[in-house]
Amino acid sequence: MALAYSYLRKDMHEKAVKLYAELAEVAVNSFLISKDSPVVEPVRIHNGAEENKEALRKLRGEEDEAFQILEYQAQKGNAGAMYKIGLFYYLG
């Protein structure tokens, strides 16, 4: 993770994404091998706006034209855009 982060800080997004993908695969496989489920009980943490998907997108800022362009670039494989979208969802 430290190496991937250092690549990220140096704007070497392609290498960072590759390493983060490998780390994610290892993490998922470790959960699949585990006998105990990592999820004990699903918990609803928000009531209300999620019922209206359009309002939720607007609340999150996903209706913004700049966000939509960034999301499109991420879907097309742009590593920098993928990182920024990930931060957007992670940090809120």
Residue 48 domain-assigned (yes or no)? no
Query: How far apart, in whole angstroms, are the C-alpha atoms of residue 77 and residue 34?
Result: 32
Q: Judge if pTM exceeds 0.75.
A: no
Q: What is the pLDDT of residues 58-79, one digit of tens each?
A: 666 666 788 888 888 999 999 9
Q: What is the pLDDT of residues 39-60, one digit of tens each?
A: 556 555 655 544 566 666 666 6
31 and 60 both lie in a single domain = no
Residue 46 domain-assigned (yes or no)? no
- Rounded to whole angstroms, the maximal C-alpha distance in the chain is 45
Domain that holds residue 90: 56-92
Residue 85 domain-assigned (yes or no)? yes
Number of domains the chain is built from:
2
Residue 51 domain-assigned (yes or no)? no
Q: Quick one: CA torsion of 68, 69, 70, 75, rounded to 10 degrees?
A: 90
